[in-house]
Structure 1
């Protein structure tokens, strides 16, 4: 199947993105392990975040959540999360070898240029970067797909960035996102998907932080082009996003669920006639009219002379009223099916 990131103009399937973000905790080996796990789960793409500490942060940046005992400041944490350009190239190659599209959100112009050299399948603009017009313009100017996350913005900000991308002609996707970790059901905001579709006339999707598979499967019922979920190798993994992540096993369920929905939606069922697949079962589960007891020839049939029993390959139960009051043309044994030939012609 062709996913939106493969070919936006002819996409036939929802692109399922496994988001690693900072779950690797600065370990290159762990980052590679995530690629293996996300590929094994059947996702289409793996996404990281590319942070170059000195280019995006200062020592004054506050912690969203103070979780790391080994980092004195948030800036120290970003330094520890950095990979070198050759290391990023290795991750991209590994993803390609596993059949995954490679994505990483840049958090500075320096990170953008690094990723431009490494090669990405498209540009995911994180919620906090949606007003970074320099970054948005640079991504759009590449002509590659631009994916906008909307978790921190109202419609006015989203309108403005959509217009900037549209001027470039780059393929565009707008993702509903709620910046809560984890996101409760009441805050997922799946109702925004048709709103975005109508308002922007572009691909839409869901970036979900609920730590469940349910919003993504529900979004697939709305025919979205993309769903993205954070992945943690284990619920016991270290890091701030674990509580908002699914495990690889759950990602496999999510993939299976989305693909099931796609097959279901692509095969509408005509209910004007009984379903062809049910024909063999009608005989098993439906009932026929049978003699309730031994009945001699000439019996004027009353309701108590008849019973409704399986299998359903004789006169159907629905014909019962038409049979009552008819006279038998031949004798019937108990449980013998009543056939049209067994009834005398009506006067």
Structure 2
């Protein structure tokens, strides 16, 4: 993997200053003016870039109340469904070109995390300078392949990834001709407990995969971010809101502007941190992994119907077959009737 990667006009390398990203996520609370204020706060706090998320509830999951779509993993969002959560958290697509222009006028780099193939197309029309692959999408191989083929830098979080998942994702990028990948150590718990961060994994990832590394941090405070930098992180991503008390899906683990500014200052100073090297998942992360991508029946189907991109989709959660089988299944027939939201399994495939 390349060790010198340019995003916008900013060089990211072993010798360059740490690239600091303010993640807005759902903290705009569906208020465009608030979104602009968050970007201004990011700029004032010393961030290099602001990142948003590009999805709608229907592009990231299915509108189903079935048990596998319920959030029951011991998170701050338990008690609702994936679709209902994302109805409150997504960033309206019509805002995004406007936000990009405003961010650029502020001197901020602006990019996004897409969450399906259509959102990649949308962001390409905006000509974003880079792409972020969220932790839960690292198992979506066709999705990663499409991003990689664009040739732009990719930041990839590893929060619910086993070692084999990281290897497969990077192999997919290389096969697509994209060597501009930065791996971000991430713990997919919200907020993340300090004892589950294992910052020593950051230099290990750099050695094992031969790439630049960084940290997508969901802990409270700035200590972990600074320590991650001391261990070799060249990118730090933290959620930013105006006030946690304002609420929202991500407020509980987001920084306020003064805290973010303090973190940026600490990033330039802190040298040491503790932790162990591990690629194991904690029990919470294993539960979180249930919301990674897999294949689902996306329309009501009758026995004998042919699988198409319309009725077979890669969505959250992970109850169905791995996304690596997507192309293999297209064109085959379904063996029996199945309704929307049915996890894909081999016994649904007619091999006769």
TM-score normalised by length of structure 2: 0.68
SS of 2:213's partner is: strand
2:5 and 2:13 in contact (8 A); partners too: no
Q: How far apart are the structure 1 equivalents of 2:254 and 2:90? A: 21
| 8 A contact 1:89–1:118 mirrored in 2 | yes
> In the alignment, is the contact (CA less than 8 A) between 1:4 and 1:11 conserved in 2?
no
Who is 1:163 aligned against?
Answer: 171
Does the alignment pair 1:247 with 2:256? Answer: yes
Q: Which residue of 1 aligns with 2:17?
A: 13
Where structure 2 has 5 or more consecutive residues not aligned to the other structure, the ranges are: 273-352
Q: Which residue of 1 aligns with 2:335?
A: none
Shift of the 13–25 alpha-carbon distance from structure 1 to 2, 3 Å rule, reads same
Shift of 1:222: 2.1
* Counterparts in 2 of 1:3 and 1:231: CA distance versus 1, 3 Å: farther
- How far residue 29 of structure 1 moved from its aligned partner, in angstroms, is 1.9
1:46 deviation in Å? 0.6
Label 1:77 to 1:87 Cα distance change in 2 as closer, same or farther (>3 A): same
> What corresponds to 1:138 in structure 2?
146
Question: In structure 2, what is the Cα distance between the partners aligned to 1:163 and 1:8?
Answer: 22
Distance 2:140 2:77 in 1: 27
Which of the numbers 83, 86, 100 marks the counterpart of 1:78?
Answer: 86
Partner of 1:119: 127
Q: Provide structure 1 residue ranges, at least 5 long, that are not aligned to the other structure.
A: 265-347
Distance 1:208 1:120 in 2: 23
Contact (CA 8 Å) 2:199, 2:231: kept in 1 or not? Answer: no
What residue number does 1:227 align with? 236
Q: Per-residue deviation at 1:25?
A: 2.1
* Bigger relative contact order, structure 1 or 2 (CA pairs below 8 A, ≥6 apart): 2
Q: Is the 8 A contact 1:230 1:245 kept in 2?
A: yes
- Stretch moving more, 162-171 or 175-184: 162-171
Asked whether the equivalents of residues 52 and 110 of structure 1 are also in contact (C-alpha less than 8 Å), the reply is: no
Alignment partner of 1:49 is 2:53: yes
Instruction: Give the CA deviation at 1:103.
Output: 1.7
1:32 deviates by 1.4
**Alignment of 1:129 onto 2:123:** no
Which residue does 1:29 correspond to in 2? Answer: 33
Report the CA distance between 1:77 and its aligned residue: 4.4
Aligned-residue Cα RMSD (Å) equals: 2.5
In the alignment, the residues of structure 1 paired with residue 179 and residue 124 of structure 2 have an alpha-carbon distance, to the nearest angstrom, of 16
Q: CA deviation at 1:53?
A: 2.1
Preserved CA contact (<8 Å) 1:4 1:12: no
Q: Contact 1:3 / 1:11 at 8 angstroms: preserved in 2?
A: no
Q: 1:256 and 2:265 equivalent?
A: yes
* Count of paired positions: 260
For the 8 Å contact 2:54–2:93, the answer to whether it is kept is no
Matches of 1:55 and 1:101, distance apart in 2: 25
2: distance between equivalents of 1:180 and 1:10? 28
Displacement of 1:208 after TM fit? Answer: 0.5
Query: Residues 3, 256 of structure 1: CA spacing in aligned structure 2 closer, same or farther, 3 A cutoff?
Result: farther
The answer to whether the 8 A contact 2:138-2:158 is kept is: yes
Structure showing greater radius of gyration is 1
